[in-house]
Structures are given as C-alpha cells and as structure tokens.
C-alpha cells in the first residue's frame, strides 16, 4: 500500500488520541488534506493502555484551564462523535498520608478553587466515606473534586478516528515514520517505511516514541519515554466511585464501569531499558502490596492481567505544544507525561492551530518547545504528575 496522495497539507505522526484529535481539528479548520501515520494498530500505544482518568486538579492555572476544557469536551463526546465513552464524573481523590502532604494538597485545592472549581478538602472520615474499607490510618485526609472522572479510552479513539476519516483524513496504520524530510531549512515531507510523502507540516504526536522521532528528524529534545505498568482485577459490583491517587508512591486506582479495579504504581525508572510493553514481577508485587495495604479487602480479588505503556516525560512535567523554532513546519504535540489522553481534546486543538501557523493562547513559558532552548523563560515544574 502506498498513500492516496503524494502531497499533503499536514502529516501527523502517531494515531493515538492526540494525533487523531489534531487531524480532526485540522480537517475541520480546512487544513486538509491530512495524513496520519502510525506503525501499530489503533490503540496499540498509550491511548489504549491508560487508566482513563480525567482530572482538573493541577498545580498551574494553565493546565487547570486546559483540563476544564477537556472535561467539557468529554462530557459532550457522545453527542459529537457518536461513541459512548462512559465518561463518569465521580471524582478524583488525592490522598495525603501525613500533614506535610496534606498541606501540599491544600495549596492545590486553593488554586483549583480559585479557578472556580468546587474542590474540597477532606479529613480522614471524609476519605473513608469515599473509599469504603480503607485501612485505618492509611490517610489523614485528601483533596477531592467531584467533576473529575474516568472514561473508557477505546471508544474515544474509535470515535475520533471515524470522525476524522469522515472529514477526509487519511489514516495509514502499520506505517512507521522514519524521519522528516528537510529542504531549505524547513519541513518538506515525511520519510516513512512505505515511502516519502511531501508536506510542509509534520506534527509529532508519537507519544512515548515522540522523542525518538524528533531526534531522527535531527532535533535534540529532552523527552524521555518512561515505562509505566498497570493491572486489572476480576470485576465486582460497584464499591468505589472516584479515582484514588496517592502522591507518595504514585499509586492510583479506580473501578471501571465493568467492575474491574484498574490501577498502577510508580516504579523507579530505569533509563535505557527496552521498549517492551510487558509486565514485571516488581510491579505485580509492589502494586499488590500498595493496594492491599490501602484497601485490605482487595487481597481476596484476583489480578487478571497486567500490561504497560509509555509516558512521554519532559523535565518540567509540561507538554510541548507548538512549532519547533529550529525547524519551521515541525510541530510538537507531545511530552504529555502520562496525561495525553485526559487533556487531548483541549491540547489537540492548539496543536492544530500551531500546525496551521496560528497563534495559540498557551503560555510559551509553560508549553512551547522554545522553553528547552533557553529562548524563553520557564515555568515552575508540575509536581502532581501521577494519576
């Protein structure tokens, strides 16, 4: 198979939620023809491997605003895209194990509340009311926002995929993006495993592989792919509404619509390891200990399967959105650090704007690729990185 055309207005690398949403917004804005390439199948990367959490509790106003917009978009997703993503607004609960953590959550709460969201601080009793069966003393309190929620990622991917296709976007699966074709100092096209296509704009939305693609295109970037594992248990009747997150060890878990407990925990990152998406014994045992320690009765639930995916991490924890100042026509839509899915409806619109050469409303100090090149000031790093 080759491509339907020899030349496109934009080529997007990565058919995950960010790439597909970007293609959709580009096509809607008349920025076609658009080609999306992905070396795998739909949902084979992190868009099909995440826990489905969508939250608005962040440490910077810029991210909170993007997240609010994303929540609104996901609320109306079913109507707009025809797929039911089962977006359930049953809240996000950040747990604090000691007073120091509680103080930090209080600061987050103050900021979130100042953005007009009804965030709440809970004491240990309030936490126990939301997490039935929590071990005594496991949390001194927490921060909770009821309009945060959980969605089922796959239908979101199918929905945007079908919508983009019906707008004329071409999605080529099983095609690997090799590097960017450069002529006269600007983007001229994409070299792929199925040949070269011409395009003045290439969008890097390759998620965990975006750092690789930027570097193959001659651009040094600080993106690091970090492997994160996740597991699912047997399904039970509903007993847990919110997504529960514990910052101290990066534990997060929720109960899916089908009743499975789905969650993960942070493991020390080992740079330079393989890109396998399997599981490790270290994860299974660490996660089991964390879950059973927090909610003892889960000990009698069996783990059905575990898998992993990649976070595309940046040094400051913020995404990279916008054209690379070193290579006109090369647009970044990456570095989401495990939050690509939850922010995608909002961020992808801006990635599309950048691809069309328009200005976005994003603070360059927080989101632009230039911040890593010393060409602009940088924001204080985001620390609420998990969940």
Partner 1 sequence: MGEPDRRFSFRGRPCSSRDGETLLAALADRRMPLLHRSIQYHRPQGPFCGIGHCTGCLVRVNGRPNVRACRYEPSPGDVVTTENAWPSPTWDLYATIGFLTPGGVDSLHGLRRPAFATPLFQRLVRRLAGTGAPPTDAAARSITAPAVDRSVEVVVIGAGTAGRAVSAALAARGVRPVVLDRALHPSALSNGELWPATTAVFLPPPADGGDRPFTVLAVREPAQGVRVLARSAVVATGSYDAALLFGGNDRPGVLSAEAALALDGPTRRPPFRRPVVVGGGHRAAEVLEALGDSVEAVVAPSEIRPELVRVANEHGVPLYPRSLLLRTGGRRYVRSVHLQARGDGTRTVLPCDAVILAHRRIPHVQLFFQTGAAMEWRPDVAAYGPRVFAGGATNVPGLFAVGSVAGMPPSDAGAAAAAVADAIVHGSSVGERVPPSSVALASSELVGYYRELMRTPGHGRWTACPCVDVLVKEVEKAVRAGYRGIEVLKRYTSLGTGICQGRYCLPDALLLLSLLEDRPPEEVGYITQRPPVVPTPLAALAALPPPPLAEAVP
Site of interaction with partner 1 (CB under 8 A)? 41-44, 48, 78-79, 82-84, 86, 88, 133, 154-155, 158, 227, 233-239, 257-259, 267-268, 270, 273-274, 276, 278-282, 284-289, 291-293, 296-307
Q: Which residue has the tokens 């608005």?
A: 56
Report whether 98 contacts 139 (CB < 8 A). no
Nearest alpha-carbon partner for 333 in 171, 202, 157: 202
Residue 68 structure tokens: 């609010």
Least distance (Å) from partner 1 to the CB of residue 271?
Answer: 11
Least distance (Å) from partner 1 to the CB of residue 213?
Answer: 21
Q: 34-38 and 170-173: which strand pairing?
A: parallel
Least distance (Å) from partner 1 to the CB of residue 267?
Answer: 7
Number of CB atoms found within 10 A of residue 281's CB: 7
Number of CB atoms found within 10 A of residue 321's CB: 27
Closer residue to partner 1 (CB): 247 or 291: 291
Closer residue to partner 1 (CB): 186 or 305: 305
Closer residue to partner 1 (CB): 100 or 299: 299
Least distance (Å) from partner 1 to the CB of residue 19?
Answer: 17
Residue 43 structure tokens: 């949902």
Closer residue to partner 1 (CB): 49 or 339: 49
Distances (CA, A) of 59 to 24, 110, 246: 29, 10, 16
Least distance (Å) from partner 1 to the CB of residue 385?
Answer: 20
Closer residue to partner 1 (CB): 186 or 289: 289
Sequence-ordered strand ranges (E) for 236-277: 243-246, 251-255, 260-264
Closer residue to partner 1 (CB): 43 or 347: 43
Residue 375 structure tokens: 């060409």
As a dihedral over the C-alpha atoms of residue 90, residue 91, residue 97, residue 102, rounded to 10 degrees, the angle is -150
Least distance (Å) from partner 1 to the CB of residue 153?
Answer: 9
Least distance (Å) from partner 1 to the CB of residue 52?
Answer: 13
Closer residue to partner 1 (CB): 1 or 361: 1
Q: Residue 295 phi/psi, 5° resolution?
A: -130, 85
Least distance (Å) from partner 1 to the CB of residue 296?
Answer: 5
Q: What is the DSSP string of 145-187?
A: ETT-EE--HHHHHHHHHHHHHHTT-EEEET--EEEEEEETTEE
Residue 86 structure tokens: 């089962």
Nearest alpha-carbon partner for 57 in 33, 91, 81: 91
Nearest alpha-carbon partner for 172 in 350, 20, 276: 20
Closer residue to partner 1 (CB): 200 or 259: 259
Closer residue to partner 1 (CB): 83 or 92: 83
Least distance (Å) from partner 1 to the CB of residue 147?
Answer: 12
């Amino acid at each position: 198979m080759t491509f339907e055309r020899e030349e496109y207005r934009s080529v997007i690398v990565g058919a995950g939620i960010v790439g597909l949403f970007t293609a959709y917004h580009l096509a809607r804005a008349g920025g076609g023809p658009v080609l999306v390439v992905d070396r795998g199948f739909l949902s084979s990367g992190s868009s099909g491997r995440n826990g489905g959490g969508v939250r608005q509790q962040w440490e910077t106003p810029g991210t909170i605003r993007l997240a609010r917009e994303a929540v609104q978009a996901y609320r109306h997703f079913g109507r707009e895209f025809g797929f039911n993503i089962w977006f359930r607004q049953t809240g996000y609960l950040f747990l604090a194990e000691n007073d120091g953590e509680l103080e930090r959550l209080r600061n987050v709460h103050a900021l979130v509340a100042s953005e007009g969201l009804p965030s709440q601080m809970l004491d240990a009793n309030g936490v126990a009311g939301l997490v039935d069966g929590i071990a005594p003393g496991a949390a001194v309190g927490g921060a909770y926002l009821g309009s945060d929620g959980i969605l089922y990622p796959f239908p979101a991917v199918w929905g945007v995929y079908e919508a983009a296709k019906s707008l004329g976007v071409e999605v080529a699966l099983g095609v690997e993006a090799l590097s960017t074709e450069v002529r006269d100092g600007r983007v001229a096209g994409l070299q792929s495993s199925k040949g070269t296509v011409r395009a003045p704009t290439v969008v890097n939305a390759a998620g965990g592989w975006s750092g690789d693609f930027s570097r193959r295109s001659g651009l040094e970037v600080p993106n690091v792919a970090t492997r994160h594992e996740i597991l699912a248990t047997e399904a039970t009747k509903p007993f847990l509404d919110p997504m529960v997150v514990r910052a101290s060890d990066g534990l997060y878990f929720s109960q899916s619509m089908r009743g499975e407990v789905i969650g993960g925990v942070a493991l020390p990152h080992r740079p330079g390891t393989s890109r396998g998406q399997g599981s490790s014994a270290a994860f299974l045992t660490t996660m089991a200990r964390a879950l059973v320690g927090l909610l003892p009765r889960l000990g009698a639930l069996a783990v059905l399967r575990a898998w992993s995916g990649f976070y595309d991490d940046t040094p400051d924890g913020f995404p990279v959105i916008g054209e690379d100042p070193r290579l006109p026509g090369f647009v970044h839509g990456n570095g989401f650090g495990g939050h690509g899915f939850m922010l995608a409806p909002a961020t992808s619109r801006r990635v599309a704007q950048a691809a069309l050469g328009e200005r976005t409303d994003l603070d360059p100090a927080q989101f632009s690729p230039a911040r890593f090149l010393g060409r602009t000031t940088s924001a204080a790093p985001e620390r609420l990185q998990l969940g």
